[in-house]
Amino acid sequence: MKNIFGITLKDLEDFFIENKDKKFRATQIFEFLYKKRIFDLDKMTNIGNNNKELLRENFDFSFIKIKSKQEDKDVKKYLFELKDGNFIESVLMYHDYGISICVSSQVGCNMGCKFCESGRLKKVRNLEAYEIVEQILLIEKDIKERISHVVVMGIGEPFDNYENLKDFIKIINCNKGIDIGARHITISTCGLIPGIKRFMEDFNEINLAISLHAPNDTIRNKIMPINKVYNIKELINILKEYEKKTKRRITFEYIMLENINDSNECAIELAKLVKDLNCYINLIPYNETENIEFKRSKKVQILSFYDILKKNNINVTIRKEFGRKVDAACGQLRANQMGRK
Ligand code: SF4
């Protein structure tokens, strides 16, 4: 039985039409679920008993569970237990522009990025759309506030779970649904080109972020195995097409790893690589973990790298750090409940 929180408005409309009812019934249900946040069918006052019965027979209304929560001043990390006993994590961050959440899209990840704590657990399975949606609903319930920005950058490669990602985006972006604006939703990929192609056809207003982390194939092959399948040239070519089609600015994520990808030469090479794209580079100070040998670049080197990009007229920022105390920083999410620590 499908979970109701993974059903798009269109699919629910089709469901009611197939069951000889009116299409607008789907909007009524969506308004209860996502506007009024009433999840109990018995409390949906203007829905008839027949409809309630029909929904009960066809959809599961249950939730995943918040297993634990760790907090630091501007960040909260949530560990969720899924119904099959697997675990995933999400991170909530308070910014001056709103509240953002970084959600997971898979249990584990097969992409094998060498610096990534999240990917140490190989992919167990894809998350279903409802399991991604419920991360948002449960966290909003916990903080009693609405989330303004969503980033799919937690555990997993979202384009390796495209169908569920697609439904998730439709549900959270729907104005009868959770209603988060397209410009406030970002999907981050390590560079799965078939996924980027589908994404630019399906969603031309949602933000795209690329985990680049290297200015050439020699370095990228060493730290990101996906580069041996889709190399940098192919990646840049598809991004040029993406830019032409969507007119959107692309974000590049670049984790600063000492003596790996942080030299001044790397900065010059990176500037040349992206100079023809409308893009923005986010330099991320690496979060060292006890399980992985990479070191964080020295502050002075991060600043030098930043200056070189700036001098070459590249839009660049150094990411504000969140959540180091609670292991919630970028690349630190992990399923440590599963004995991976
Ligand atoms: S960085 Fe992202 S794509 Fe790479 S292993 Fe980690 S979770 Fe997977």
| Alpha-carbon span 302 to 264, nearest angstrom | 9
Kindly indicate the confidence band of residue 320, based on its pLDDT and cuts at 50, 70 and 90.
confident
Q: What is the pLDDT of residues 29-88, one digit of tens each?
A: 999 999 999 999 999 998 999 999 999 999 999 999 999 999 988 999 999 999 999 999
Q: Ligand 1 pocket: which residues have CB below 6 Å?
A: 109, 111-113, 116, 118-119, 155-157, 190, 211
CA distances from 29 to 53, 148, 187, 297 (A): 13, 22, 27, 51
Active site residues: 89, 330
| Alpha-carbon span 59 to 65, nearest angstrom | 18
| Alpha-carbon span 155 to 338, nearest angstrom | 14
| Alpha-carbon span 341 to 333, nearest angstrom | 11
Ligand 1 atom at minimum distance from 119 CA: 5
CA distances from 87 to 54, 67, 136, 207 (A): 31, 9, 16, 27
Q: Give percent helix, percent strand, percent coil of the chain, each to the nearest 5.
A: 40, 20, 40
Q: What is the pLDDT of residues 99-130, one digit of tens each?
A: 999 999 999 999 999 999 877 789 999 999 99
Ligand 1 atom at minimum distance from 106 CA: 7
Q: How high is the mean pLDDT of the chain?
A: 93
Q: What is the pLDDT of residues 191-244, one digit of tens each?
A: 999 999 999 999 999 999 999 999 999 999 999 999 999 999 999 999 999 999
- Six-digit token pair at 304? 């030098």
| Test site for ligand 1: of 116, 220, 229, most ligand atoms within 8 A of the Cβ | 116
| Test site for ligand 1: of 91, 104, 111, most ligand atoms within 8 A of the Cβ | 111
Nearest of 334, 333, 338, 297 to residue 318 by alpha carbon: 297
Ligand 1 atom at minimum distance from 153 CA: 2
